[in-house]
Amino acid sequence: MSYGYIGSMKAKPGYRDDVVDILLSGADGLRTVGCDLYVVSVSDTDDDTIWVSEVWQSKEKHDASLQLPETRAAIGKAMPMLTGEFTSQEVTVVGGLGV
Amino acid sequence: MSYGYIGSMKAKPGYRDDVVDILLSGADGLRTVGCDLYVVSVSDTDDDTIWVSEVWQSKEKHDASLQLPETRAAIGKAMPMLTGEFTSQEVTVVGGLGV
């Protein structure tokens, strides 16, 4: 079964959309390294929280992607705009619609 | 932009897979009522928690689906197997890979 990751990050006030842009800019390239789904969303209940729901062919492919130069560059760009408040869930994707 | 829902539910010990089966049994039918993505996952850190990540064409279509007879029947079937511990996030889907 696929590996799933569900996480949130809090942007500093006024920076949420800049972080979203960074996340989206790399999304298309993830398919070639084993990502099947990368959904970027913003909270409907506060102005700063970003949610990412991901499905990968394996945890190994997910973890390896974090070492890619373009991913490290994106993380480096986004970090100063984030408060450091994260939540994360690692899950096993069982199935559904669209996966 | 699409409506997203990220939620978790805790099954009573030993009932997680039964609840997962109920969730999956209705998944395919959701496409016809405006659901674009319905991902059912199980936590990698405990044996009882189920995660659902959903993308809908609108909040209205999501909410309307909860009134469908088959959805109400599924909820009725699953509820006795759940502890009542839920988390839920309503989000606006901005984009990404696969959405």
Size of interface A-B (CB pairs under 8 A): 124
pLDDT band at B39 (very low <50, low <70, confident <90, very high): very high
Closest CA to B5 of B60, B74, B61, B52: B52
pLDDT tens-digit map of B40-74: 999 999 999 999 999 999 999 999 999 999 999 99
How high is the mean pLDDT of chain B? Answer: 96
**The domain at B2-93 falls in which architecture?**
2-Layer Sandwich (3.30)
Each of the 99 residues of chain A gets a pLDDT tens digit; together they read 899 999 999 999 999 999 999 999 989 899 999 999 999 999 999 999 999 999 999 999 999 999 999 999 999 999 999 999 999 999 999 999 999
Three-state SS at A44: coil
Contact assessment for residue B43 and residue B10, using Cβ atoms and an 8 Å cutoff: no
What is the model's pLDDT at position A39?
A: 97
Residue A54's alpha-carbon distances to A30, A85, B24, B52, B60, in angstroms, are 10, 19, 19, 12, 24
Contact between chains at A38 and B89 (C-beta distance less than 8 A) = no
CB atoms within 10 A of CB A57: 13
What was the pLDDT predicted at A28?
86
| pLDDT digit string, tens, across residues B21-35 | 999 998 989 999 999
For residue A11, the model assigns a pLDDT of 98
Per-residue pLDDT for B96 more than 90? yes
CB-closest option in A30, A31, A39 to B99: A39
Is residue B1 pLDDT above 90, yes or no? no
Q: Which residue in B54, B45, B61, B58 sits closest to B3, CA to CA?
A: B58
Strand duo B49-56 + B2-11: pairing: antiparallel
Chain A environment of B32 (Cβ under 8 Å): none
**Cross-chain residue pair B94–A42, CB shorter than 8 Å:** yes
Residues of A in contact with B95 (CB under 8 A): 24, 27, 40
- Fold for A16-92, please state it: Alpha-Beta Plaits (3.30.70)
B20 CB neighbours in chain A (<8 A) are 94
* pLDDT value of position A1: 84
